[in-house]
């Protein structure tokens, strides 16, 4: 579906689930994290924003007691009975996991269509979880933060990814035209308005190294070990790194989030850019979750006119960089960065101009 509308979703739903039922429609956005990387599972500070790419679900009650899901992107279908909600190691786990944690859901026919690029570090998984959760609730009310917690539980306990709460939080509670500065310990948040004279541009490296899955879990364990070494419950509580590289990243990254918030309020684009680059260097050298392609994109971007700063965003080992670009230089930046990257790696990078979007809800 080139342009997603209720009509296009309804037509596709009718193809896969023939019958008189009229579906309801739900959406949840992906996200880009401006700064505060790998700090959420350390109960620190993050500053993400939702993006204009969403996962959409058309849903209507099924009449066979089963939960059905069809992915238009994958041209693939799954079905479950309440007793068969077990991990299978594929995309369906995000659907089944939400149903398992929700417990009280009505059997549904779900048609899922996503615009969020997978493997790009833009949180396609949280967008899927939130949109499916809304569909399974079928209009029943749930406090937004409870919904966010539920979807994180599904990813932690069912899918088995030890992620923090950032992705689900921003997909569920994002505010249009703003970012959120989130305290991942107390789950308080503050709305942050970005300066008008800058554009957030994501560049997708189109690579995702397999090391990313195992390294993520390793970093979670390493941070827990660093906290024990420092005698604190978690690295949010740390005021020094004790010579540990992982702790040094988390402590300094939390400080950068606070500095970035102040720079946004002051409209200090150059300071915002400096913090972006410092964040990337910390992820590159102290946290060691970058990769050659991401480093190349960042190193190239900061040499291009009109770019204030660049950094990797997401889990790492591939995916996207996020760049702060002057509005009148965005076209030239896109042309230059894709050309240089193509010449170096023979890969066609994809570029996404990102306007802060609203969080999950009806479509």
Last residue of one domain, picked from the residues 132, 157, 192 = 192
**pLDDT at position 105, please?**
87
Residue 363 lies in a domain: no
Same-domain check for residues 205 and 329 = yes
Same-domain check for residues 184 and 304 = no
Residue 249 lies in a domain: yes
**pLDDT at position 257, please?**
98
Rounded Cα gap, residues 58 and 268, in angstroms: 43
Residue 219 lies in a domain: yes
Residue 361 lies in a domain: no
Task: List per-block mean pLDDT (blocks of 10 residues) for the chain, which spans 363 residues.
Answer: 87 93 96 97 97 97 95 96 93 96 91 93 95 94 94 95 94 96 97 96 92 81 96 96 97 98 98 98 97 98 98 94 98 98 98 95 96
Rounded Cα gap, residues 204 and 182, in angstroms: 25
Is residue 30 a contact partner of residue 127, using CB atoms and an 8 Å limit? yes
Same-domain check for residues 151 and 21 = yes
> Using alpha carbons only, what angle is made at residue 71 by residues 321 and 315, rounded to the nearest 5 degrees?
25
Same-domain check for residues 117 and 244 = no
* This model's pTM is above 0.85: yes
Same-domain check for residues 203 and 175 = no
272 is in which domain, residue-wise?
199-354
What is the secondary structure of 117-141 as a DSSP string?
Answer: PTTSSS-HHHHHHHHHHHHHHTT--
**pLDDT at position 21, please?**
83
Same-domain check for residues 246 and 186 = no
Within 13 Å, how many C-alpha atoms sit on residue 243's CB side? Answer: 1
Encoded tokens for 312: 């990797």
**pLDDT at position 208, please?**
87
Residue 300 lies in a domain: yes
Token pair 């993400």 is found at 48
Same-domain check for residues 119 and 155 = yes
Same-domain check for residues 208 and 101 = no
User: Catalytic one among 167, 241, 244, 286?
Assistant: 167
Rounded Cα gap, residues 160 and 182, in angstroms: 23
Residue 22 burial (CB count, 10 A): 10
Instruction: Report the phi/psi class of residue 167: left, alpha or beta, with left for phi > 0 and alpha for psi in -120 to 50.
Output: alpha
Residue 276 burial (CB count, 10 A): 28
Residue 362 lies in a domain: no
Q: Any idea what the CATH number is for the domain that residue 127 is in? A: 3.30.230.10
Biggest CA–CA distance in the chain, Å, is: 65
Same-domain check for residues 139 and 64 = yes
Residue 50 burial (CB count, 10 A): 30
Q: What distances in angstroms separate CA 360 from CA 135, 143, 227, 323, one per listed residue?
A: 11, 12, 34, 25
Q: What are φ and ψ of residue 168, in 5° steps? A: -65, -35
Q: What are φ and ψ of residue 267, in 5° steps? A: 65, 25
Same-domain check for residues 237 and 154 = no
67-71/108-114 β-pairing: parallel
Encoded tokens for 23: 């579906």
Last residue of one domain, picked from the residues 192, 220, 248 = 192
Q: Any idea what the CATH number is for the domain that residue 326 is in? A: 3.30.70.890
Burial (CB count <10 Å: 0-12, 13-18, 19+), residue 210: exposed
Residue 51 lies in a domain: yes
Last residue of one domain, picked from the residues 176, 192, 208 = 192
Residue 1 lies in a domain: no
Same-domain check for residues 171 and 204 = no
Same-domain check for residues 49 and 176 = yes
Q: Is 167 a catalytic residue?
A: yes
- Among 238, 233, 199, which residue's Cα sits nearest to residue 329? 199
Domain count, the chain: 2
Q: What are φ and ψ of residue 80, in 5° steps? A: -145, 145
């Amino acid at each position: 579906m080139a342009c997603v509308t209720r009509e296009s979703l309804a037509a596709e739903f009718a193809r896969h689930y023939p019958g008189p039922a009229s579906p309801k429609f739900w959406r949840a956005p992906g996200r880009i994290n401006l700064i505060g990387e790998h700090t959420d599972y350390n109960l620190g500070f993050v500053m993400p924003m939702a993006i204009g790419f969403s996962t959409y679900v058309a849903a209507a009650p099924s009449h066979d007691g089963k939960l059905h899901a069809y992915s238009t992107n994958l041209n693939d279908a799954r079905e479950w009975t309440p007793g068969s909600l077990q991990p299978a190691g594929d995309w369906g786990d995000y659907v089944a996991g939400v149903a398992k944690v929700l417990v009280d859901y009505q059997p549904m026919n779900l048609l899922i269509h996503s615009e969020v690029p997978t493997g790009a570090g833009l949180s396609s998984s949280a967008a899927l979880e939130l949109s499916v959760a809304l569909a399974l609730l079928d209009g029943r009310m749930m406090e937004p933060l409870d919904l966010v917690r539920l979807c994180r539980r599904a990813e932690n306990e069912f899918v088995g990814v030890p992620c923090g709460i950032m992705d689900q939080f921003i997909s569920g509670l994002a505010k249009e035209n703003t970012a959120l500065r989130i305290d991942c310990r107390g789950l308080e948040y503050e709305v942050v308005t970005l300066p008008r004279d800058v554009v957030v541009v994501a560049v997708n490296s189109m690579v995702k190294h397999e090391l990313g899955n195992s390294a993520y879990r390793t970093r979670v364990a390493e941070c827990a070990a660093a906290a024990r070494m420092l005698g604190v419950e978690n690295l949010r509580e740390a005021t020094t790194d004790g010579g540990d590289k992982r702790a040094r990243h988390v402590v300094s990254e939390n400080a950068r989030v606070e500095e970035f918030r102040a720079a946004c309020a002051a409209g200090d684009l150059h300071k915002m850019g400096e913090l972006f680059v410092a964040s990337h260097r910390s992820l590159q050298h102290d946290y060691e979750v970058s990769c050659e392609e991401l480093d190349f994109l960042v190193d190239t971007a900061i040499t291009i006119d009109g770019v204030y700063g660049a950094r990797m965003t997401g889990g790492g080992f591939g995916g996207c960089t996020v760049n702060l670009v002057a509005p009148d230089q965005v076209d030239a930046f896109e042309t230059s960065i894709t050309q240089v990257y193509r010449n170096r790696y023979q890969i066609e990078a994809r570029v996404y101009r990102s306007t802060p979007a609203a969080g999950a809800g009806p479509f």
